[in-house]
């Protein structure tokens, strides 16, 4: 890709008119978005509305400067989203995904209200939100915009803004590309390419195992957790959720722990420093100019009651 404003505008024009040049990994079609890998032929993802803002196009063009598509590291955003769909297909074989239309409709609506506030949404990157049939209190995410929450977490969260806090936290990890950066540290580029091309199913399975709760990709440092909390609070405010939900949820986990419950043990193991984080969140909220917003919604309570009854 050539340098200069004229070149950027030319590429933006091409993308906006579904005529992206070969250097760009994204090919827009009238029925949806194809994440195109130049070697493998690409992978199709769900249809999306065919709109692409100039800002989104220019942000996306920042990833077209090298053959792999992103200057920040060897794995481009296109490749991350492709990898995410490959991993999600494996996750669906290893956990019990809940197929409850009403519950999924609310979860995805709440998740999307948060997702649209992120830079990856501007770049037209879709997110998926799923419910795992598991009585433990947990949530996790994998690369490429896939967020999972357990039925136990939904039943434990007292209000809609507590669930929103969990979703915002996991979304923030994905936006920061933490799992992808860790994969880049662990795996040679040749292995990552082989996985993307479908030539290394065992390597793909290893990544999935590491991304599930308890795995190395699901564990974050205290600094990383604090950053995700901070970004998550910002997302909540921008999506009009009361940020106190994050504080309330962690206080709820502490109460479970003090009562001797093991329901939240895995979540607390993968998300360290809970009391320190409560203190940090409390101080952060005190400094925020806006601390009001949606606290609860009837759709959340209906979903929560359903999983309390079936649990």
Catalytic machinery residues: 170
Do 115 and 121 contact (CB within 8 A), yes or no? Answer: yes
Task: Match 């360290």 to its residue by tokens.
Answer: 272
Cα separation, 261 vs 259, whole angstroms: 6
**Token pair of 37, please?**
């890998």
Q: How many CB atoms lie within 10 A of CB 57?
A: 23
Q: Which residues pair with 149 in a beta bridge?
A: 131, 139
Do 129 and 180 contact (CB within 8 A), yes or no? Answer: no
Helix axes 178-186, 160-175, angle to 10 degrees: 40
Q: How many CB atoms lie within 10 A of CB 126?
A: 20
Spell out a b/e string for 180-214, using b for 16 or more CB atoms within 10 Å of the CB, else e.
bebbbeebeeebbbbbbeeebeeebebbbebbbbe
Q: Count CA within 13 A, CB hemisphere, residue 237.
A: 15
Do 127 and 171 contact (CB within 8 A), yes or no? Answer: yes
**Kind of pairing between the strands at 128-132 and 146-150:** parallel
DSSP-derived 3-state class of residue 139: strand
Q: Count CA within 13 A, CB hemisphere, residue 48.
A: 17
């Amino acid at each position: 890709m050539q340098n200069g404003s004229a070149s950027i505008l030319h590429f933006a024009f091409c993308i906006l008119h579904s005529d992206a040049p070969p250097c760009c990994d994204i090919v827009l079609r009238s029925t949806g978005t194809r994440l195109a890998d130049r070697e493998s032929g690409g992978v199709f993802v769900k249809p999306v509305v065919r709109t692409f803002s100039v800002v989104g196009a220019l942000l996306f063009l920042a990833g077209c400067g090298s053959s792999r598509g992103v200057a920040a590291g060897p794995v481009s955003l296109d490749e991350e989203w492709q990898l995410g769909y490959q991993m999600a297909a494996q996750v669906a074989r290893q956990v019990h995904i809940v197929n409850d239309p009403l519950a999924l409709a609310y979860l995805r609506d709440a998740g999307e209200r948060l997702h649209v506030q992120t830079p990856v949404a501007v770049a037209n990157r879709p997110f998926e939100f799923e419910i795992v049939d598991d009585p433990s209190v947990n949530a996790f995410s994998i690369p490429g915009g896939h967020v999972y929450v357990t039925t136990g977490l939904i039943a434990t969260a007292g209000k809609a803004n507590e669930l929103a806090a969990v979703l915002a936290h996991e979304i923030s990890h994905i936006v920061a590309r933490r799992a992808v950066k860790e994969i880049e540290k662990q795996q040679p580029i040749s292995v990552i390419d082989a996985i993307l091309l479908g030539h290394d199913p065992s390597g793909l399975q290893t990544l999935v195992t590491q991304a599930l709760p308890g795995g190395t990709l699901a564990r974050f440092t205290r600094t990383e957790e604090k950053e995700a909390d901070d970004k998550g609070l910002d997302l909540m405010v921008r999506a009009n959720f009361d940020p106190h939900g994050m504080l309330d949820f962690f206080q709820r986990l502490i109460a479970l722990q003090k009562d001797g419950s093991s329901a939240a043990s895995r979540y607390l193991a993968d998300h360290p420093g809970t009391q320190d984080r409560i203190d940090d969140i409390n101080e952060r909220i005190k400094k925020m100019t806006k601390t009001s917003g949606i606290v609860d919604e009837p759709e959340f309570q209906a979903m929560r009651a359903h999983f309390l009854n079936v649990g």
